[in-house]
Every structure is written in structure tokens, then in C-alpha cells.
Amino acid sequence: MRSARTPLAAAAGLAAAALMLAACTTDAPTDTIDASPEESAAASEGDWFDQAEYDRQLAQRDIEPEGPADQPWLQAIEPEWVDTEEYAVEGGDHTVCFSNASVSNPWRVTGFITMQQQVAVYEESGDIGEFRVSDAGDDDNQQISDIQAFVESGDCAAIIISPSTTATLTPAVEAACDSGVPVIVFDRGVNTDCAVTFIHPIGGYAYGADAAEFLVDNLEPGSTVLALRILPGVDVLEHRWAAAQQIFGASELEVLGFEFTGGDAAQIRDTVEQYLQRGEVDGIWMDAGDGAVAAVEAFEDTGNPYPVFAGEDELGFLRKWEETGMTAIAPVYSNFQWRTPIVAAMRILDGEQVPSEWVLPQEPVTEETLPDYLERNADMPSLHYAQFGGEDLPGYPEAWQDR
Amino acid sequence: MTVDQAPAGPPPGAPTPPAERPAAPPALRFLGGASGPVFVLLILIFAGIFTLNPSFAEPPSMMFFLRQAAPLIVLAIGQYLVIVSGEFDLSVGALVGAQVVIAAALIDGEEARTLPVLGVMLVFGLMVGLVNGLITTLLKVPSIITTLGTMLVLSGAIQLWTGGAPTGALSESFRVAGRFGIEDVPVLGQLPWALLILVAVALAALVLMRSSYGRTLVSVGDNETAAAFAGARVWLVRTGAFVLSALLATLAGVLIGGYAGVTAQVGDGLEFAAITAVVLGGVVLGGGRGTVVAAMAGALAVEGLFTLFNQLSLPSTIRPSVQGLIIIAAVAYAARQGSLPWQRTRPRAPRTVQPTRR
């Protein structure tokens, strides 16, 4: 994102560059950016909607996950276990390699700290000898060569990949699989199932539906909703919005509009103030919670009553929610998923079974669970995510505080 | 401040003291020249907004609008100073972002740290401006490259320092300037501090441009060789413009941070918004012509235009494209200035000596 102030943008300086800049600046924590232009162009309508996947995700929200309830990062929804004996390696001191798309937003920063702390546990126990990380800075080409370098070095006992985009990274992931080393993909997906396990929370449809259903349930029919979006063409964000459109469409709420803000607080405030100027806004739906506080402040500072609000589990927003006592929900894209790939790698190298698709629970923060999450994260900075799931790790809490 | 600051046709080779053109009466001068269209545009944009949404014309709404526009106007003033002296400052967006992120990280929510951190930001802004100015003037690096470099250095360094995403939090008192104002003012409702700060900065800019420094700045942009012959220390004058631009970007950072709080994207694209505002105001890229008032009007027009788009329910993704078109159209228009028959009355200072400045 910040890397998006690129020479390209500056040199060209005009529309195209600015658009690209916006595209690179995505703060979307979760997203598989799909580079294909047709799909991006068609972004605003229902092309992103996949009924079967939508139904599946909405159903998964109600399925009791397998695994220990107090360790959600180890839980899995309807797992299909696969054998990994072929990958088992005697002894410990493994070299685990991680190709990271980037740490360009607070959600990824939080997750990466959790991951490193999880690694520290295994280093302590002697299971991990070395943890090699390469950060592609949101650059597909960089990540492709990062993965190649891992494969060519021949040192990696397991390769963990958090892909920056779906289609472009697929061949690189396939090449890593072909090298015979176990590959673990998490967060954003790729178009191949060659990885031993693909780890992710339920997904974008569930996120968008959690938020939209809450607004429908808590607003009178005929109320108005403003949707604040980060940017078009990013699949998980589009899935969130596609799900919301389904639910709003079947409701009696009036969607005033959807605005792309790039996650920039100043633009969010500006947009909300302008809508407030045009008329009443009763509810806010966001596809990612970045800058949610700025939206709330727009209502405060213009003297309007608080809207019913769907944000995210970023602590700044959760604190604002508690402080103002407004009606809100915080859908989550489970940040604790950053721990799971390390655990998975250890299991695979021990020859234990793992789910082929490891679907982690994705439970929104509600009014009932809000006090608990606030208390657990009382000393954490505002740009931290409540469901980071690292409270039991040795570096807690300093590692997440001093970032 | 009159619209036309350009030196009026001096004898060839002679030093060109910036003189106001004696001709046309003020009203005509106001609408003529490169700066005229911006005022017409401004009137059209606001007529459009008021027609679509009459409640926008109410004073409290205007106050909100001006508070929100204040940072860009402040940036446009800084950008004007640099552009009129014949240079560019592409680093202001990154500097705004850096300043907000620095403020959040250093203050970390502690009220007591607000003032010291403001001091740190001031010093940091000063340093960035000095570096931009000295590298451009003494090392003869074209400013478009210098400030592009600064922009990358700043965003990279901030990323390195914060580990990719901003940390910490701004204090309440830090946010007062950008977020609050004097409450319960009759008619206006809330009188935003940001607006008062903006008025003070605008007045200071007007005074500055009327001072000998301001006049020298314009003449340096118009013809640096001539200005040098006239005794201007060109490097010092230009470095001053970069320093002022960086300090104004720091102020804009305080206002934007106050207005909206800290996110990773603060400041993104502001350099282009500021340049758009300045060229829309008819200030000629390459320097020497245009007024600071027109640059401020340009910034208001840019903000107004985005408001109009919102009122028309156009998607916000249209903004970059429109910004690009405005830059091209405004520069093209300005380039035509003087080549049209009725504009012959204002010859450019002859560039007899082709300076070997780069």
C-alpha cells in the first residue's frame, strides 16, 4: 500500500496511474486480487455471486467446528482429513519457509506477529531450526521469484505461501508442489489444490452476510443504508458485497449507494458527511473495517444520531463502539488463521493428518462478546485485531504492543 | 494581489523586476488571463451543488465543506509557491502521510506528548523541505526527480519504521485543530478551527506574495537568468519555496490527522490533488505566472467538483480520471494563453539566454 506511491504513479501522474495506485493501495486484508480486467470491470454487479458457494458459506456459519473450542486456530469445519506420511521427516530442527504477500496493512501486521510468536514456540522445542521469510510487498512477480528461490535452495522442509493474487500465483504454487516439498497455502487462495492443505476462514460471503443480516434485523423497514467499500475488483471484498446485495435486495432497506474509499479515513469521513448532507443515513455497511472510526465520527461531529453499524474487529472500532453504546456488529476475517499454517507444517512433517481444506471458524464480535474481547485486548493498540488468537503465546502481550 | 504577476515585457536582456501590468481594469483582469476560468468554474460548480441540494448552501453545511477542504487548500498554497518558482513538489502527499504516521506513533495516545511531537513534526517538515530545495538548487537535480525520490524515501522509511502499517494513536488534543471548532456561533453553527487556520495561512500567503520575496519568487520562475542578473539568489529563493511547501504539508497533516484519524492511506494522492488545484487555478507549470488566490480557488474547485460528483451520485472511482483530465486540459489551456490574438498584450519575458540550469 504505501509502496503504492510508486515511481510509476508519480511519473505518469494521471488517471491510469492513479487508478493503479488505488488498486495497489488495497488495504483489504483478505483478498485475492483478480487481475483480469473483464472481471474487474464487471465488478459492481452480480458476476461475483456464486449461489452454491454462498449457500455453503452461510451454512458453515452454523456448523460446529471440530477441535478444541478454546483454540479456534486448531478448529476445522467439516474437515476431510488427508494422510501426510509421505512428507514425514525424522527429527526436528526443520527449516520452514514462508512466502508472504506483504505486511502492508494492520491486519497482516497483526497476523504476522502472531505467526512469528507461534514459530518461537517451536524453535524453543527444537522442532523449527530456521524460519525463512520473504516479503513480496504486494508484488506478484516478486512473490513468484521468492517462491522459486525457496524451491531452488532445497533447504525448505515445508513452504508456506500467503499468495498475493490468485491467478498469477497459481503456476508458482504448482511449481513449489512439484518440488516434492509439502506446500501450505493460507488466507487468499490459488487455482490449484496441489497444496497439502489450504487454510482459510469461512469466507467473504459469510462476512458480508453477517454484516447485512445484522442491519436488516436492527433497522426498521424503509431505513437507509450506506455501503462503504475499499475498492472494486478484489474477490473476497466483492464476495462480501455480493452477499450483502442478496440480503439487502430481499429486505425492505433502502441502499443509498456504495462508495469506494480506498480505506482512507479522510475520504470515508468526507463521503459520509456528504451523504448526511443529502439526507438521513440509518445504517452503515462496510466491506472492511479500516477507517470505521472516521465514519462514526462523521455522525458525531455533524450532530446526527449514531447509525446501526457493521465494522470489523479492529480495536479502534470496538472501543468506539463500547464508548458510544451504539448498535453494532463486528464481522471478522479470523486473524488467528496466521497461527494455523505453522501448526499445520509441524503436523505434516510429523506425518499427522491435516484437513485438505482447513476451514477455520469465523465468528463475528457481537454486543454480548464485545466486553470480553475488549478486556482481553485492553493493552493492545487501536490498529490491532481482537481475534488475533495469540493470548497463550510466550511473547504476549509485548510482541503485539511494540510493533 | 492581482491576477497577473508576470513581468511586463522588459527590454531584452534587462533584469525583469516583476511589475504589475497597468492596462485592463481589475474586473477584466479578474476574468481574463489564465486564472479567470477557475473563478467561473467555481461559480458553476457551486451553482450546480446548490441546485441539486439547496441545504448545502446553509452556513453550517458550508462550514463542514470548508473544514474538509482546508487541508487541500493549504497544500495548494505550498504547491503554488514551488510551481510559480518553476519547480514541482511531488513529495507533499507522502510527507502528509509520514507526518500523520509519525504523530500517531510518537504520541501513542498520550495527551502530554502532543506539543513536543508537534515540534518534532515541524523540524521534520523543515528538514524535508531543505533537502528537497538544496538537492534541486545546489545539486541541480530536476525537482520532479528530487521530490519523486523524497516521496519514495519517505513512504519506504515510514514502512520500514512501522513494519508496514501505522501504529499508535493520536491524542484528543492533537485532533482538535482538524476536527473541532468554536461551537454555537450564530448563523454558522460551528466555526471550525481548520477554517480559521486556513484564513490565517491564506492571509500570510497573500502578504508573502506581495513582499519582495514573493516578487522575486515569481521572477525566478519566469526567468531565472534575468532574476539572477537582477541580484536574486535563485537557489535561496527556491529552497525557501520548498521549505514553505513542506511546512504547509506538515500543517495539512495536522489538519487531516485531526479530521479523520490515522489510517495507512493518509496522504495518498494528495500531491496530484494539489497540483491539479494549482494548474486549475491557471498557474503555469514552469513558473512565473499565476496567483496564489487562483491556486486556492483551484483547490476549492477540486473539492467542490468532488462534492458535485457525490451529489450526482457518480461513483468515487471516477475521481482519478477526472483529475487527470483536468490537469491536461488546464495545462493545455494555459499553454494556449498568449498565442491567441487577443492575448498579445502580454508578452512573455524573452528567454534570450538559454540557461544551462539542468
Considering CB atoms only, which of B64, B165, B320 is closest to A18? B320
The answer to whether the beta carbons of residues A294 and B261 sit under 8 Å apart is: yes
Looking at residues B200-221, what average pLDDT do you find?
A: 95
The answer to whether the beta carbons of residues A329 and A211 sit under 8 Å apart is: yes
Considering CB atoms only, which of B148, B166, B256 is closest to A383? B166
Question: Would you state the pLDDT for residue A37?
Answer: 37
Give yes or no for residue A35 having a pLDDT over 60: no
Name which of A336, A341, A225 is nearest A286 in CA terms: A225
- Tell me whether residue B7 is in a domain: no
Q: How far apart, in whole angstroms, are the C-alpha atoms of residue B93 and residue B99? A: 10
User: Which pLDDT band, with edges at 50, 70 and 90, does B337 fall under?
Assistant: low
Question: Phi and psi of B163, rounded to 5°?
Answer: 75, 25
Any chain A CB within 8 A of the CB of B106? no
Complete domains list, chain A, with CATH: 63-202+336-362+385-401 (3.40.50.2300), 204-329 (3.40.50.2300)
Q: How far apart, in whole angstroms, are the C-alpha atoms of residue A27 and residue A42? A: 21
Question: Phi and psi of B89, rounded to 5°?
Answer: -130, 100
Q: Give the residue from chain B lying closest to A272, CA to CA.
A: B310
Q: How far apart, in whole angstroms, are the C-alpha atoms of residue A32 and residue A289? A: 17
Q: What number of CA atoms fall less than 13 Å from residue B183's CA on the CB side? A: 6
- CA torsion, ordered B77, B80, B82, B86, to nearest 10 deg: -170
| Chain segment B105-121, per-residue pLDDT in tens | 999 888 999 999 999 99
Considering CB atoms only, which of B71, B264, B275 is closest to A106? B264
- Tell me the C-alpha to C-alpha distance, in Å, between residue A28 and each of A1, A22, A175, A348, B162: 10, 12, 27, 30, 18
User: Which pLDDT band, with edges at 50, 70 and 90, does A25 fall under?
Assistant: very low
Give yes or no for residue A5 having a pLDDT over 50: no
User: Which pLDDT band, with edges at 50, 70 and 90, does A286 fall under?
Assistant: very high
Q: Give the residue from chain B lying closest to A6, CA to CA.
A: B152
CB contact under 8 A, B310 and A106: no
Q: Which amino acid is at A295?
A: A
Q: Tell me the nearest-neighbour CA distance from A315 into chain B, angstroms.
A: 12
- Tell me whether residue B5 is in a domain: no
Any chain B CB within 8 A of the CB of A141? no
Which grid coordinates belong to B158?
515510514
- Tell me whether residue B236 is in a domain: yes
Bridge-based pairing of strands B189-192 and B181-185 is antiparallel
Looking at residues B126-137, what average pLDDT do you find?
A: 96
For residue A397, whether the previous peptide bond is cis, meaning omega lies within 30 degrees of 0, is yes
Considering CB atoms only, which of A11, A278, A302 is closest to B311? A278
Q: How far apart, in whole angstroms, are the C-alpha atoms of residue A120 and residue A123? A: 5
> Percentage of residues in chain A with pLDDT exceeding 70?
89
Q: What is the pTM of this model?
A: 0.79
Any chain A CB within 8 A of the CB of B134? no
- Chain B segment 222-261 residues within 8 A of A by beta carbon are 256, 259-261
- Chain A CB contacts of B159 under 8 Å are 2-3, 104
| Chain segment A147-167, per-residue pLDDT in tens | 999 999 999 999 999 998 888
Share in percent of chain B as helix, strand, coil (round to 5): 65, 5, 30
User: Which pLDDT band, with edges at 50, 70 and 90, does A38 fall under?
Assistant: very low
Question: Would you state the pLDDT for residue A90?
Answer: 87
Q: Give the residue from chain A lying closest to B49, CA to CA.
A: A278
User: Which pLDDT band, with edges at 50, 70 and 90, does B339 fall under?
Assistant: low
> Cβ neighbours of residue A79 under 8 Å, at least 6 residues apart?
A66, A355, A356, A357, A358, A359
Report the CATH number that the domain containing residue B87 is assigned in CATH. Answer: 1.10.3470
Give yes or no for residue A363 having a pLDDT over 50: yes
Question: Would you state the pLDDT for residue B338?
Answer: 55
Any chain B CB within 8 A of the CB of A267? yes
| Chain segment B235-258, per-residue pLDDT in tens | 999 999 999 999 999 999 999 999
Compute how many other C-beta atoms are within 10 angstroms of the C-beta atom of residue B321: 14
In our burial notation (b when 16+ CB lie closer than 10 A, e otherwise), range A206-233 reads bbbbbbbbbbbebbeeebbbbbbbbbbb
- Tell me whether residue B159 is in a domain: yes
Name which of A211, A228, A243 is nearest A276 in CA terms: A228
Question: Would you state the pLDDT for residue B315?
Answer: 76
- CA torsion, ordered B57, B58, B63, B65, to nearest 10 deg: -40
- Tell me whether residue B102 is in a domain: yes
> Cβ neighbours of residue A362 under 8 Å, at least 6 residues apart?
A61, A201, A202, A203, A206, A207, A332, A333, A334
Q: How far apart, in whole angstroms, are the C-alpha atoms of residue B192 and residue A301? A: 11
Question: Would you state the pLDDT for residue B314?
Answer: 80
The answer to whether the beta carbons of residues B277 and B302 sit under 8 Å apart is: yes
Residue B316 Cα to chain centre, angstroms: 22
Range of the domain at B323: 34-336
Q: Tell me the nearest-neighbour CA distance from A74 into chain B, angstroms.
A: 27
The mean pLDDT value of chain B amounts to 84
> Cβ neighbours of residue A149 under 8 Å, at least 6 residues apart?
A134
- Chain A segment 202-231 residues within 8 A of B by beta carbon are 231
Any chain B CB within 8 A of the CB of A291? yes
- Chain B CB contacts of A11 under 8 Å are 148
Which grid coordinates belong to B179?
476536527
Q: Which long-range contacts (CB under 8 A, 24 or more apart) does B213-216 make?
A: B213/B237, B213/B240, B215/B5, B215/B17, B215/B18, B216/B18
The mean pLDDT value of chain A amounts to 87
CB contact under 8 A, A105 and B311: no
Any chain A CB within 8 A of the CB of B317? yes
CB contact under 8 A, A274 and B156: no
Question: Phi and psi of A330, rounded to 5°?
Answer: -125, 95
| Chain segment B252-310, per-residue pLDDT in tens | 999 999 998 887 788 888 999 999 999 999 888 888 888 999 999 999 999 999 888 88
Give yes or no for residue A232 having a pLDDT over 50: yes
Any chain B CB within 8 A of the CB of A318? no
Size of interface A-B (CB pairs under 8 A): 162
Any chain A CB within 8 A of the CB of B94? yes
- Tell me whether residue B73 is in a domain: yes
Q: Which amino acid is at B138?
A: L
| Chain segment A324-360, per-residue pLDDT in tens | 999 999 999 999 999 999 999 999 999 999 999 999 9
Question: DSSP assignment, residue B267?
Answer: T
- Tell me whether residue B28 is in a domain: no
Give yes or no for residue B211 having a pLDDT over 80: yes
* Cα Rg of chain B (Å, integer): 20
Any chain A CB within 8 A of the CB of B262? yes
Any chain A CB within 8 A of the CB of B332? no
Q: Tell me the nearest-neighbour CA distance from A294 into chain B, angstroms.
A: 5
Helix/strand/coil for A236: helix
The answer to which of A58-67, A204-213, B150-159, B206-215 has the lowest mean pLDDT is B150-159
Any chain A CB within 8 A of the CB of B274? no
Give yes or no for residue A215 having a pLDDT over 70: yes
Compute how many other C-beta atoms are within 10 angstroms of the C-beta atom of residue B250: 28
- Tell me whether residue B116 is in a domain: yes
Name which of B42, B181, B158, B174 is nearest B117 in CA terms: B174
Helix/strand/coil for A299: helix
Domains of chain B: total: 1
The answer to whether the beta carbons of residues A208 and A48 sit under 8 Å apart is: no
CB contact under 8 A, B166 and A106: yes
Any chain B CB within 8 A of the CB of A369? no
Helix/strand/coil for B137: helix
Q: Which residue has the higher pLDDT, A197 or A104?
A: A197
Looking at residues A45-59, what average pLDDT do you find?
A: 86
CB contact under 8 A, B90 and A10: yes
CB contact under 8 A, A3 and B162: no
Question: Would you state the pLDDT for residue B184?
Answer: 86
Considering CB atoms only, which of A7, A16, A301 is closest to B152? A7
The answer to whether the beta carbons of residues B298 and B272 sit under 8 Å apart is: no
Q: How far apart, in whole angstroms, are the C-alpha atoms of residue B106 and residue B128? A: 18
CB contact under 8 A, A105 and B168: no
User: Which pLDDT band, with edges at 50, 70 and 90, does B320 fall under?
Assistant: confident
CB contact under 8 A, B263 and A290: yes
The answer to whether the beta carbons of residues B100 and B227 sit under 8 Å apart is: no
Looking at residues B62-85, what average pLDDT do you find?
A: 94
The answer to which of A73-87, A188-202, B55-69, B210-224 has the lowest mean pLDDT is B55-69
Name which of A248, A20, A19 is nearest B323 in CA terms: A19
Any chain A CB within 8 A of the CB of B307? yes
End-to-end CA distance of chain A: 18
- Chain B segment 36-75 residues within 8 A of A by beta carbon are 53, 55-56, 61, 64, 68, 71
Q: Give the residue from chain B lying closest to A264, CA to CA.
A: B265
